[in-house]
Amino acid sequence: MLFRSSADAVVVTAAYDLPPSASISGNVFRDDDASGTRNGSEPGLAGWTVYQDFNNNGILDLTTTSIFNSTDTPKLAADPGTTFSNLTIAGLAGTISNIKVTVNINHPTDGQLYVSLISPGNIPVIMSNYQGGTGANFVNTTFDDAASTPIASGTAPFTGSFKPYFDLGRLNGVSPNGTWKLRLDDSTAGNQGTIVSWSMQITYTEIGRAHV
């Protein structure tokens, strides 16, 4: 943990961490006698920000963006049926403020497919709901709430960025840690597909920010 002044002049490193779900509260003071407790004569320090410096860069990162690739691919899809591909994230502090999902799926008839993301907390988001008609494949398809074209208005193989069927923003505010699942449902027998690869780009915030 770092205690950093607003003038960025002094850094004090404490030898302990907070769990990712923690918060920070209390008083910041100048510990003149290095006792770890505040004596009556030790002044408080106004205008300081206390935060957990999870990436140890000495800077309060309001947001950090990272890309995570699933290693649970390629995966042959059930025909018909449901297939899950996992992606596990661990050790991140803070909560999600934005998420994008990129998929590569081979299938001769996209209109038979239902594609969704399920969070570690079991929050589902439908990204493609049997879109694509008789078109084939999802090729470097990025589901992004900020995209201008809804997936329902796109054309297979859906290369580029598309607004998902439901907003991924419903995952904002949750922890990125845990096992995420890409769910692929194939409604009709006879055309088998493959989850070739998929990844998530997650923007998250450092935890425990408190202005003192």
pLDDT one-digit tens code per residue, 62-121: 788 999 999 999 999 999 999 999 999 998 878 899 999 999 999 999 999 999 999 999
Q: What percent of the chain has pLDDT over 90?
A: 63
Among residues 210, 147, 200, the alpha carbon closest in space to that of 3 is found at 210
Q: What is the mean pLDDT of the chain?
A: 84
Give the residue-averaged pLDDT of 41-60.
75
Is the previous residue joined to 157 through a cis bond, with omega within 30 degrees of 0? yes
Among residues 184, 182, 186, the alpha carbon closest in space to that of 199 is found at 182
Q: Work out the number of other CB atoms within 10 angstroms of the CB of residue 53.
A: 19
Q: What is the phi-psi region of residue 176: left when phi exceeds 0, alpha when psi lies from -120 to 50, beta otherwise?
A: alpha
- What pTM, to 2 d.p., does this model score? 0.73
